[in-house]
């Protein structure tokens, strides 16, 4: 199935539904019957003023996948990633459909927690955020020249003004991820793969 984009409704009540948008993007590779962002928010226990923790996002994803596939064999895990090499391996494994996803016959996005200030479209606005990485090109062999493509679910109410799909250098994404690691110590999940 093709990856689809699920933007947050551009209103104040949904300004922190980035995890729900990212989860919907991930689920779109598994089913055409993707739940609404509000339903995902209930399953992931979103807090309107804060958002959704990585730990709760993992539980919601795995609950939906168990219903979709009738199995737990494709379960996702939330990890605290501090190594670029480990992150690259997660990207290559999940997006190519290797490892635990081999039996599914398709790849699936990797969800990543970031801080937004250094990302395009945020104009320096700093917020905790989750994106769905849907593609990569690591052929250059350096983080500055390798690229990743991700879906951006936020709207202008959340502080984002840019396209729904962005492609940036792996180094730029890694910087935003490390900013999250440094800023948010209460949520140990930085990558869901």
What CATH number should be reported for the domain holding residue 38? Answer: 3.90.70.30
- Looking at the predicted structure, is the pLDDT value of residue 1 above 80? no
190: in domain: no
Question: What residue numbers bound the domain in which 77 lies?
Answer: 12-184
Q: For 31-44, what is the mean pLDDT? A: 96
65: in domain: yes
Least confident of 6-10, 161-165, 183-187: 183-187
103: in domain: yes
189: in domain: no
Q: What total number of domains does the chain contain? A: 1
Token readout for 9 is: 């409704």
In percent, the amount of the chain with pLDDT more than 70 equals: 99
141: in domain: yes
**Vertex 191, ends 187 and 193: CA angle to 5°?**
135
Task: Please give the Cα distance from 107 to 22 (Å, whole number).
Answer: 15
**CA–CA distances in Å: residue 139 to residues 9, 22, 46, 92:** 36, 26, 37, 12
């Amino acid at each position: 199935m093709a990856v689809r984009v699920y933007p947050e409704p551009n209103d104040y009540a949904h300004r922190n539904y980035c995890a729900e948008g990212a989860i919907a993007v991930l689920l779109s590779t598994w089913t055409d019957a993707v739940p609404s962002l509000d339903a995902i928010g209930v399953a992931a226990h979103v807090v309107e003023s804060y958002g959704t923790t990585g730990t709760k996002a993992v539980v919601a994803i795995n609950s939906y996948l168990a219903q979709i596939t009738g199995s737990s064999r494709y379960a996702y895990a939330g990890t605290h990633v501090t190594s670029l090499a480990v992150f690259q391996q997660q990207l290559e494994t999940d997006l190519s459909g290797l490892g635990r996803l081999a039996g599914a016959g398709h790849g699936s996005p990797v969800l990543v927690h970031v801080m937004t200030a250094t990302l395009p479209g945020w104009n320096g606005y700093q917020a905790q955020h989750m994106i769905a990485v849907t593609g990569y090109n690591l052929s250059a062999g350096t983080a500055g020249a390798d690229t990743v493509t991700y879906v951006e679910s936020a709207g202008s109410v959340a502080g984002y003004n840019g396209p729904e799909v962005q492609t940036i250098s792996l180094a730029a994404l890694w910087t935003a991820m490390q900013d999250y690691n440094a800023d948010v110590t209460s949520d140990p999940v930085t990558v869901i793969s």
